[in-house]
């Protein structure tokens, strides 16, 4: 499969982020605990990806070095989702998705380490500006405590970590095989979480029909497809560019939450001001770096 052009990659990137905007909403609607939700999500995705790899005859075999890297990424993915959905269940959709906007700042630190380049002061500055946008979007009246913010920020931290690593790995392995192994390791880590919270395990027979349908939508529609899309995008664009675009996810998620949960997700002028800043930063980054990622990607590999 040929790499996307810069324009195609940007278009697919924004479609990916838009679909990701539904994950927080589904996480709010699914009634089971965060640990059980993440476990079922990952198990379903691994089953789908395993079937896809077998159907396409891509082969499951990878080298030991890659396997260790996939294990590390898988652990980061599991921790990201556990903290993300833990934040949603504890502090609400708004806090969880807004904390994700700090991914830009964390990625500006992690990506240079992975690709062995100097830290860009401009990228750090943009990351700090995005954090300023988040401060406008976070509503003072939510009364979020330290635990809620910590869960959200840790979610962003681990998301930036696995995003930066995948930016390099995506150029070495087929996306389907890579996704299967990474999420298989994520499933192991999430299963171990039940040792800490055994009361959170929910048997398949105890799931409601509604939860089953929502979990399938989360696993296939909001995980398998956008995950593969994001890996394809990373063959052309940098992890930092994708991380910056992810800052639009709170905008999509909060608009959806406003209409679906009108009693608990109120939008104020801070939302519109912060959203305008985030959209402006994403547009400016896309324009300034147009056509510049393909050579960089080749040299980084």
Alpha carbon distance 91, 149 (integer Å)? 8
Note the pLDDT of residue 299: 28
Note the pLDDT of residue 138: 58
Q: What is the pLDDT of residues 161-208, one digit of tens each?
A: 998 898 888 878 888 899 999 999 999 999 999 999 999 999 999 999
Note the pLDDT of residue 30: 95
Alpha carbon distance 85, 215 (integer Å)? 13
Note the pLDDT of residue 301: 30
Residues in the chain: 301
Note the pLDDT of residue 269: 66
Contact 44, 246 (CB under 8 A): no
Q: What is the mean pLDDT of each run of 10 residues along the chain (301 residues)?
A: 83 90 90 96 95 91 92 96 93 80 82 82 76 62 72 92 87 86 96 93 95 95 90 85 77 76 63 69 64 36 30
Measured in whole angstroms, the distance separating CA 294 from the mean position of its chain's CA atoms is 23
For the chain, the 3-state helix, strand and coil shares in percent, each to the nearest 5, are 80, 0, 20
Note the pLDDT of residue 271: 65
Tell if the pTM clears 0.85, that is, is over it: no
Contact 186, 78 (CB under 8 A): yes
Query: What are the tokens at 279?
Result: 């959209």
Domain ranges of the chain: 6-300
């Amino acid at each position: 499969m040929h790499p996307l052009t810069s324009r195609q990659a940007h278009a697919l990137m924004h479609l990916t982020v838009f679909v990701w905007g539904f994950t927080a909403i589904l996480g709010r609607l699914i009634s089971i605990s965060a640990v059980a939700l993440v476990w079922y999500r990952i198990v379903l995705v691994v089953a789908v990806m395993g079937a896809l790899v077998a159907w396409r005859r891509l082969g499951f075999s990878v080298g030991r070095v890659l396997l260790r890297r996939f294990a590390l990424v898988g652990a980061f993915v599991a921790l990201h989702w556990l903290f993300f959905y833990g934040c949603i269940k504890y502090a609400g959709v708004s806090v969880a998705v807004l904390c994700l906007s700090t991914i830009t700042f964390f990625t500006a630190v992690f990506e240079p380490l992975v690709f062995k380049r100097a830290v860009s002061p401009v990228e750090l500055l943009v990351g700090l500006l995005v954090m300023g946008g988040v401060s406008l979007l976070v509503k003072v009246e939510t009364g979020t405590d330290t635990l809620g913010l910590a869960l959200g920020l840790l979610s962003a931290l681990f998301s930036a970590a696995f995003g930066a690593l995948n930016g390099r790995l995506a150029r070495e392995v087929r996306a389907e095989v890579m996704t299967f192994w990474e999420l298989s390791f994520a499933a192991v880590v999430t299963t171990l979480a039940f040792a800490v919270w055994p009361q959170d395990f929910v048997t398949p027979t105890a799931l409601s029909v509604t939860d089953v349908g929502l979990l399938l939508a989360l696993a296939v529609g909001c995980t398998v497809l956008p995950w593969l899309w994001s890996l394809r995008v990373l063959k052309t664009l940098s992890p930092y560019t994708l991380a910056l675009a992810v800052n639009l996810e709170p905008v999509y998620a909060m608009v959806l939450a406003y209409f679906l949960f009108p009693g608990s997700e109120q939008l104020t002028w801070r939302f519109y001001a912060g959203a305008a800043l985030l959209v402006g930063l994403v547009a400016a980054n896309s324009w300034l770096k147009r056509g510049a990622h393909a050579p960089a990607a080749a040299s980084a590999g």
